[in-house]
Structure 1
Amino acid sequence: MKNWKLLSVILASLLFVLAACGGADESKESDTNTSTEEQSATAGTSESTEGPVYPMTISPTIASTEDEEAGTIAFEDVTLEEMPKKMVVFDYGFLDTLDAIGVEGIVGVAKDSTLPAHLSKYEGEEYASVGNLKTPLLEDIAALEPDVIFISGRQAAFYDQLKEITPNVIFVGTNQDDYWNTFLASTEIAAKMFGKEAEVEEHIAKIDSAIEEVKALSGNYDSSLVTMYNEGKLSGFSKDSRFGYIYDIYGFTPVTEDIESSSHGSDFGFEAILEFDPQVLFVIDRTAATGGDSNIEADMENDIVKETVAYKNDKIVYLDGPLWYLSGGGLQSELAKIQEILDELK
């Protein structure tokens, strides 16, 4: 009997130990699961707030360009050790994009050229003038000690001199041979450098929607011609020109393919407009863009042009000079250009 009681006590003790071990294992497993869940939640939070990773290498929107005096100018990749805090921006299109996505740290702008109306805030005293679009003020730029300088074609001849101020000179301009893709490439640079991918995508979506709208409208016309007015003279633009996207992207049909491709267009007399007789005539006011006194409507609506279908049907579309000639290639300006055409032709 005593032996039986002893055995019962031993069995009870063993069951208690096993139960305690099982509870400890369950508790340990529960703690492990909780820890894993907390780590996952923390990791998710870290990923959602993660900014751009530096050092970062940025490639220019084009590899090289040709300058009448300097010849071939090759643009280099730039490696930035950290996000820039002080920036000089020459290209109005890139300035437009930085403004649209809320990037801060711009200290210098080419204020001596005609800023588009939507960028007028950069005329304020808090932004230093670094010259005009064709002539940088090198000493003034050096005094600003910028971390990076953003340029485009009009400043290309000064590329090496600007690199003496900082090696971080990035070409962000568009190229007339591939305007739309180089515009998109410039927005990708801004998105990558400043962690603004979502903001850029939102603006691009609006532009895509507007393009579909203008393409539906352009299908109503069989012929169109893009011209630029400059102090009483006209030049015409082909599909391969700097304004070729009006044909390729917006969907307007060119009245002729026989126009020489040139950055400033081919000479185009009023008689030629009557000869080709487009249903829609676009006129970009370069005189207004360069600060001159424009008589565009008086000069355009002469006795010859009044014989055209475009004039008779009220389809001469006057396009804002600073917007189209100086500040294209930005998230705001590209949408504004499409909207201008929609407003005129609807």
Structure 2
Amino acid sequence: MNSLKLTLAGALAGLTLAGCATTASVTGPTVVSYDHGALDTLLELGLEDKVLAIPQQGLPDYLADLGAKLPDAGSLKEPDQKLLADLQPGLVLMTGRQGAEAQVSAAKVAPVRDVTLATGDFREAVNANVINLASYYGLKETAGLKLGELWQHVGEQKAELADAGTVTVVTHNDGNFSLRSEPAVYELLALTPAIVPDSVAPVTRGERTFYPVNVETLAEMAPDTLLVVDRSAAIGAEPLPQQALQSALNDAGASTHVVVLNPGLWYLSGGGLQSVRLQVDEVVSALR
């Protein structure tokens, strides 16, 4: 019996060591990511040891533990080019948020990959980004399994919201509001938007188009739930006074429930294996 116990213990130890060796043997580039969604995908794939630094300014709270362990790589708007030169990562992940000049500078140090989500079908764009990142490390199969788990979870959560009513999403910026076409809300969870009045007209600034709205317009739309992505709070400016907005809508005759979403998660992140799940869960929690 003792011999059998020793044999089993040895076998289990061998499996444990083999598992560790497999994890440690994953090859691929070290990374500095200026896209939090891409970063949380790497973390979900078990690649934390490949991450050399993280942008600390405005870091979403769900990444705070990692941020406490790693050097500051600057901000999403202004990457620390000197740090990149010092660290010599194997790969730098960027998006249009950093701008062409920052990408050109970073490319002098290491290969730069633009991980901006493709336009069109949101789910397919997330799939493509996750698989592409995983391919650097020979983890495409693992990524496929993770994506399957994510979409199954989203489907289960979607089924909980059959009676959610109408939902409007807006971005708040320094007291101003604009309608936000949020794919996690309208594509993944297939929630019903409130009807937008014909008086709401688009405003174009550079390559971006906004649909500004005010409290009166939101009261006219009267969604059952108003979800607010607070850009001001995300960038460290004066946050939205939620109760003041709630009171203003009530005074205008709207029975709308106002929910301010996690600003860092929604304005500074998204599109990753962790962030998509977190966003879906937050919406479901708000609407239950």
TM-score by length of 2: 0.79
The CA deviation at 1:169 is 0.6
CA–CA distance in structure 1, aligned partners of residues 104 and 248 of structure 2: 50
The match for 2:254 is 308
Whether 1:247 and 2:186 are equivalent positions in the alignment is yes
Whether 1:343 and 2:285 are equivalent positions in the alignment is yes
Q: Look up the equivalent residue of 2:189 and give its one-letter code.
A: Y
The structure whose RCO (Cα within 8 Å, separation 6+) is larger is: 2
Name the CA shift for 1:210/1:296 in 2 (closer, same or farther; >3 Å).
Answer: farther
Q: Percent identity?
A: 26
Do 2:122 and 2:187's aligned partners in 1 also have CA atoms closer than 8 Å? no
Equivalent in 224, 231, 239 of residue 279 of structure 1 = 224
CA–CA distance in structure 2, aligned partners of residues 130 and 325 of structure 1: 19
The match for 1:133 is 76
Equivalent in 166, 172, 188 of residue 115 of structure 2 = 172
CA–CA distance in structure 2, aligned partners of residues 264 and 139 of structure 1: 34
Q: Look up the equivalent residue of 1:91 and give its one-letter code.
A: D
Q: Look up the equivalent residue of 1:319 and give its one-letter code.
A: L
Whether 1:142 and 2:85 are equivalent positions in the alignment is yes
The match for 2:65 is 121
Please show how residues 144-223 of structure 1 align to structure 2 within 5 Å. Answer: 144-157=87-100, 158-166=102-110, 168-175=111-118, 177-223=120-166
Q: Please give the secondary structure, in 2, of the residue aligned with 1:303.
A: helix
The match for 2:262 is 320
The match for 1:334 is 276
CA–CA distance in structure 2, aligned partners of residues 52 and 186 of structure 1: 23
TM-score by length of 1: 0.67
Q: Please report the RMSD computed on the Cα atoms of aligned residues, expressed in angstroms.
A: 2.7
Q: Please give the secondary structure, in 1, of the residue aligned with 2:113.
A: strand
Do 2:161 and 2:284's aligned partners in 1 also have CA atoms closer than 8 Å? no
The match for 1:26 is none
CA–CA distance in structure 2, aligned partners of residues 264 and 244 of structure 1: 16
The CA deviation at 1:268 is 1.0
The CA deviation at 1:305 is 4.2
Do 2:161 and 2:287's aligned partners in 1 also have CA atoms closer than 8 Å? no
The match for 1:269 is 214
- Higher-Rg structure is 1
CA–CA distance in structure 2, aligned partners of residues 105 and 261 of structure 1: 42
Please show how residues 81-92 of structure 1 align to structure 2 within 5 Å. Answer: 83-84=28-29, 86-92=30-36
CA–CA distance in structure 1, aligned partners of residues 180 and 142 of structure 2: 33
The CA deviation at 1:331 is 0.7
Q: Please give the secondary structure, in 1, of the residue aligned with 2:99.
A: helix
Unaligned runs of 5+ residues in structure 2 are: 1-21
Unaligned runs of 5+ residues in structure 1 are: 1-48, 54-81
CA–CA distance in structure 1, aligned partners of residues 134 and 242 of structure 2: 40
CA–CA distance in structure 2, aligned partners of residues 206 and 147 of structure 1: 29
CA–CA distance in structure 1, aligned partners of residues 62 and 266 of structure 2: 13
Residues paired across the two proteins, number: 258
**Cα-to-partner distance string for 1:164-219 (whole Å, 9 max, x where unaligned):** 222x1111122455443222211112221122334423432332123223432443
